[in-house]
Chains A and B, each alone.
Chain A
Amino acid sequence: MEDDYDNYDKTFKPRTNPYFKRIKNSLQLNLQQLNSNFLSNSLIAKILIGIFTILFLSLFTSVPFLPHFKSTGPKVVLILAANEGGGVLRWKGPQDWSIERSSIANKKNYAKRHGYGLTIKDMTIKKRYSHEWRESWEKVDIMKQTMRQFPDAEWFWWLDLHTYIMEPHISLEEHFLNNLDNETYRNLEVFNPLELTTDLPYVDYTQPVDMIITQDCGGFNLGSFLMRRSSWSEMLLDVWWDPAMYEQMHMKWEHKEQDALETLFSTSPWIRERVGFLPLRKINAFPQGACSDQADDPRYFFQNHDFVINMAGCEYGRDCWGEMEHYKALSKRLQKPWYKFW
């Protein structure tokens, strides 16, 4: 009967694989042997049942007093802010779509290569972030949301859409995370484009770094920054936007959360204690064209083999798509192994 069914070829059906059949048969045979030989021996049976119970509890539950071999989620999560504006105020043309595709593919490959998490967040214009309705900073909300979404991750790396990871083989750990104290600078005596006060009372620099940002020619740059999960970051994300502060400062805070952070940084020891700065080119190199007032300062601009390029401000009078294509091609060229000639 069964054979008849197998030979009946007028319907679509999964192909039976004789190889698997064979394995199944041999397994059954083994099981039978097991039944006859071992399971009759009640001691071994009990031990086996015990082991399986423990394995089950360890793998699929979270009962206490047992080691759990669960694969934990990624330790680093990339947040990519995509669909900026969402085509609400401006037509989203084919070039915009192309940029988005390139940027997303780039981050996807990078995350996959190093086992990081990646979440792509929609930055469509929303009423609750418009001035009259302002409920929070959008970046802050997305950060909080991602921290909830990846409860095991430690570091969260925010990337704007117009960024491109040029050296995808470098992991964040080897790049700077494993050597944070030496890679970052904590007080602004080294580099201080905003001329903020370098010295605040009570600041204790022995605290760990919980936030890693860069400074460009105009001050703090949040186009590419990292935050570590901690009670400190939870508090910063909670107080970053405050209506009383916003009411007093909204005329001055052109760059929204970026300026708000600068204000907090320049007055509050608790913020200053846990912010570490990286040189711009480390995670956020600029193309020629950004920071055009200081075009001869090598600290800002991309040089071959810098880690990330951020085409900051390309939507204001520059050609985003052209720049993206240029750096995409450049990265491909730079990453080409020496033994490949074409």
Chain B
Amino acid sequence: MGKSFKPKEKKGYLPLPATFNNIQLKQRNLSLWIITFIVIILWLNPLGISISLFQKSSSNKYPEPHPFTSPHKVTTTSKYIFPPVEHAPLLKELGRSKLVKESRVRDANHPEIDVSSIVSLNAFDNVDPSIQLSKEKDENAASDLSKAKNTFKNGDKIVYKPKNDKNYPEIVIVTAIDFEKYSLGGLTNIVQNRIDYAHDHNYGVYIRWYEEFLPWINSFSNFDNKQKKKWIRTYCLRAAMFAFPKTKWFWYFDEDGLIMDTSINLKDYVLKDDVLSPIMLREQPINPQNGIIKTYKSSKPGSVKLIITQSNDKIETNSFIIKNDDVGRSILEFWTCDLFFEYPNFPFGPDSALTHILQWHPFLLSKTAIIPARTIAARHSTTPIAEGDHLHYVKGDFTVSWTDCKKEQCEATLAFYNSVLHPASS
């Protein structure tokens, strides 16, 4: 450090005022304030606010989801949704042709084919639901037949809407019942059985007439075709998902069956991960007869959306469980696609379609579990049961089904199992 150059100190011409440093301090404070202010303003981003003001702020309005046959919904606070079974004789008297509107169309390109199209009577509702309601009230008071007819057509609109979600059913049992197949007594037993079970475990019930889905399958001849009629199971389930949007699981259990042990809680019995994991059949052929495609070895119970059972020959859809989330719904909707319904090479209707879907689409297969039939779909057997039978009902099983019955047999089988269930009443 040699010489350092610095200005020679001069005594100032005037002494600095005593408050000079104070002023500087204040100025510095001021600038600090200004900077803070600017930072806050920038942080609040007034430009963004003005931009968002100029942007179209209202998001697009889209129509609400609506039921299959009507743009309107009717809400109920009861978690047991079922048609008034006592209307069965009246509906039978009215007949299919009065319950829906059928029109026959001849296609110009194929004049030999007689195409029928079925529309729900909901299509002729007044646009204003309140006018329609008062109109129906008058009709209902006038005759029991119109009342049955109106209740029948309105079934599609009913959705569950509780006052609060505290007791929202976690599982809903879905059944389609046919007033042409069972007597009033039989129907009552079927419905009562589901409701008893749901009541014991705080589940919901969703029951509809098979005939209500005529507009979906679009012809009476399809309805009389046993295999085509099976599709109604899936449509009914889709309607149930709409009626109970917050339910986690839906169990479709067809009318030809009874829950024999109402003490079993379906959730603890099948649905919990640690319960489902050991009973999922892994590497099980989708088609038991020629098993080229098999269920995955390592699929996890947590990702299962669809739980099905098999008979000795094929997949069965008289009792299956589906999860009510976006993937579960998508699987069901893909399955119910019109092109599968119309495909002539599906001999067993939805059963064949599901077999096809699982064999061709690995994503859906990975979300599906096959469980032993006797868990939720034990079969009624007319002959004594052999040792090691995995299919037929043995006393103590959860449910019993008689899907292959002929008309009178069905009623008799139902009566038999009902008497087993309620020995006192018979």
Question: Interface of A with B (CB < 8 Å)?
Answer: 179, 181-182, 185-187, 199, 201-205, 207, 231-232, 234-235, 237-239, 242-245, 247-249, 263-264, 267-270
Contact = CB atoms under 8 A, between A and B. Distances in A.
Given A239-B334, A268-B333, A187 B63 contact: yes
Given A205-B65, A235-B334, A270-B333, 17 more contacts: A179-B55, A182-B55, A182-B56, A185-B60, A187-B63, A199-B63, A201-B66, A201-B67, A201-B68, A202-B67, A202-B242, A232-B330, A235-B327, A238-B363, A239-B334, A239-B357, A268-B334
B65 A267 contact: no
24 contacts: A179-B55, A182-B56, A201-B242, A202-B66, A202-B238, A202-B333, A203-B65, A204-B65, A205-B63, A232-B327, A234-B363, A235-B327, A237-B363, A238-B362, A239-B363, A243-B356, A245-B337, A263-B339, A264-B337, A267-B338, A268-B333, A268-B337, A270-B326, A270-B333
B42 to A, nearest CB: 20
Nearest to B71: A199
A231 B56 CA distance: 31
Nearest to A241: B360
Contacts of A242: 357, 360-361
A310 to B, nearest CB: 25
Q: Give the top 3 A-B pairs by smallest Cβ distance, nearest first.
A: A205-B62, A238-B363, A270-B330
B363 A235 contact: yes
Contacts of B55: 179, 182
Interface in B38-82: 55-56, 59-60, 62-63, 65-69
Contacts of B334: 235, 239, 268, 270
Contact of B327 (A187, A205, A231, A247): A231
A231 B326 contact: yes
B340 A244 contact: yes
A239 B339 CA distance: 13
A249 B63 CA distance: 31
A239 B353 CA distance: 13
B333 A244 contact: no
A231 B330 CA distance: 10
A235 B364 contact: yes
A10 to B, nearest CB: 52
A235 B330 contact: yes
A186 B241 CA distance: 22
B13 interface: no
A142 to B, nearest CB: 17
A162 to B, nearest CB: 31
B329 interface: yes
Nearest to A249: B339
**What range describes how many residues of B lie at the interface?**
35 or more
B243 to A, nearest CB: 11
B68 A202 contact: yes
Contact of B345 (A202, A244, A264): A244
B221 to A, nearest CB: 20
B20 interface: no
Nearest to A245: B339
A66 to B, nearest CB: 26
A207 B326 contact: yes
A231 B367 CA distance: 11
A187 B63 CA distance: 9
Nearest to A184: B60
A203 B65 CA distance: 5
A249 B340 CA distance: 12
A187 B361 contact: no
A197 to B, nearest CB: 12
A243 B339 CA distance: 11
B60 A269 contact: no
B124 interface: no
A235 B363 CA distance: 6
B144 interface: no
A239 B67 contact: no
B274 interface: no
A182 B60 contact: yes
B60 A238 contact: no
Interface in B353-372: 353, 356-357, 360-364
B138 interface: no
Contacts of A267: 337-339
B352 to A, nearest CB: 9
A25 to B, nearest CB: 28
A168 B314 CA distance: 56
Interface in B334-348: 334, 337-340, 342-343, 345-346
Contacts of B330: 232, 235, 270
A335 to B, nearest CB: 24
A237 B327 CA distance: 13
Interface string B200-244: 000000000000000000000000000000000000001001100
A202 B326 CA distance: 13
Of A181, A234, A269, most buried by chain B (CB within 10 Å of CB) is A269
Contacts of A234: 363
B159 to A, nearest CB: 11
Nearest to B344: A248
A186 B59 contact: no
Contacts of B331: 235
Contacts of B60: 181-182, 185-186
Contacts of B66: 201-202
Contacts of A235: 327, 330-331, 334, 363-364
Contacts of B346: 244
Contacts of B363: 234-235, 237-239
A186 B327 CA distance: 20
Of A232, A238, A247, most buried by chain B (CB within 10 Å of CB) is A238
Contacts of A264: 337
Contacts of B360: 242-243
B331 to A, nearest CB: 8
Contact of B342 (A187, A248, A269): A248
Contacts of A199: 63
A185 B56 CA distance: 14
